[in-house]
Amino acid sequence: MRAVVCRRYGPPEDLVLDEVADPTPGPGELVVRVRAAAVNFPDVLLIAGKYQVQIPVPFTPGSELAGDVVAVGDGVALAPGDRVIGTTFVGAFAEQALLRAESVTLVPNGVDYATAAGFGVTYRTAYHALRSVAQVAQDDWVVILGAAGGVGLAAVDLAVAMKARVLAAASSPEKLDVCRRRGAEALVDYDREDLKQRIRDVTGGGAQVVLDPVGGRYSEPALRSLARGGRFITLGYAAGSIPAIPLNLVMLKGITLQGMEIRTFGTDHPDQADRDVRELQQMFVAGRIKPYIGARFPLSDTAAALRYVADRKAVGKVVIDVD
């Protein structure tokens, strides 16, 4: 089968498309014929050797996919031909992927492969952050940095579904227009406007929650915009730098500053994670939430897809079509 392979840590352009052996499932495993896979920012960090966990090379990147079951190991209830959504730390950017059975769910009726592939990682990240960590309530003002990115736009969708008031922050009018069409009540172009002042003006004095998957120079003004007792959730550093936060701001305003990482959330908080996944699946099946796919690439252009995400050009999800 064909697979994208990272042979040495580096930029997306160092990836190669190669022929590798077809996977074989063991007990509790299954093999999926990948029809679509979605790109996430951590994929860029993994191939560069800059993620929190390093994967020994060579490896095939990619963490979420949708496709058809082609083989199952002992103890797996699914059957060849079933349409499934799957998540994995690596391995999705290939014609076939080996997955654990517990990481797979059926694709809802009427949902195409690309939409299914784009649902998993970003929506779970955003919902855990909003529901379990920030504990967003109806009518809370929620500021979402990087609101047009994968996690950001998922957070916009979910916060709107939770009946919060969403202020979307992004870097261009085009990106903000997508956020508006997805339900954001207010917008701020943080490359051209005073982020802190805009948030205070819109919210009438301060937001209850800030979700930050971006980091860099945007974090501190967003933190300063919080109302007393507000919650600041740090999710990642797509801007390329990890900000230093003045802790006196946290003390003086009684702010809760908390991190959330999708890789460990389920282990650290299994009951909350299970509840969140059930609720997410219900919303997805009911059609209340649906990933926005901003760009699509063939498997042969996976490096270009990763570069697109690395350069912060992505709006919503970037999908790789494997057919």
| pLDDT tens digit sequence for 221-279 | 999 999 999 999 999 888 888 999 899 999 999 999 999 998 899 899 999 999 999 99
pLDDT for 205: 87
| Within-domain flag for 266 | no
Rounded Cα gap, residues 284 and 287, in angstroms: 5
The gap from C-alpha 100 to its chain's centroid, in whole angstroms, comes to 20
Distances (CA, A) of 102 to 29, 87, 263: 9, 9, 15
* Residue 105 sits in the same domain as residue 209: no
For residue 245, give the CATH number of its domain.
Answer: 3.40.50.720
pLDDT for 192: 92
**Across all residues in the chain, what is the average pLDDT?**
95
* Residue 92 sits in the same domain as residue 196: no
* Residue 145 sits in the same domain as residue 210: yes
pLDDT at 323 exceeding the cut of 80: no
| Within-domain flag for 267 | no
Q: Which residues contact 133 (CB under 8 A, 6 or more apart)?
A: 231, 233, 258, 260
What are the pLDDT digits (tens) for 177-227? Answer: 999 999 999 999 998 999 999 999 999 989 999 999 999 999 999 999 999
| Within-domain flag for 291 | yes
Structure tokens at 287: 């059609």
For residue 14, give the CATH number of its domain.
Answer: 3.90.180.10
* Residue 166 sits in the same domain as residue 67: no
* Residue 150 sits in the same domain as residue 187: yes
* Residue 26 sits in the same domain as residue 112: yes
The rounded percent of the chain whose pLDDT value lies above 70 is: 100
Strands 207-212 and 226-234: parallel
Mean pLDDT of 87-105: 95
* Residue 16 sits in the same domain as residue 108: yes
Give the domain range for residue 314.
2-121+281-321
3-state secondary structure of 173: helix
Distances (CA, A) of 259 to 43, 126, 132, 149, 207: 20, 12, 12, 19, 18
Rounded Cα gap, residues 262 and 210, in angstroms: 17
Peptide bond connecting 58 to the previous residue in cis, omega within 30 degrees of 0: yes
| Within-domain flag for 102 | yes
* Residue 224 sits in the same domain as residue 308: no
Place of tokens 């592939």: 117
- The b/e string for 178-201 (b: 16+ C-beta within 10 A; e otherwise) is bbbebebbbbbbbeeeebbebbbe
Number of domain units in the chain: 2
Q: Cα-flanking dihedrals φ and ψ of residue 217, to 5°?
A: -80, -5
The rounded percent of the chain whose pLDDT value lies above 90 is: 89
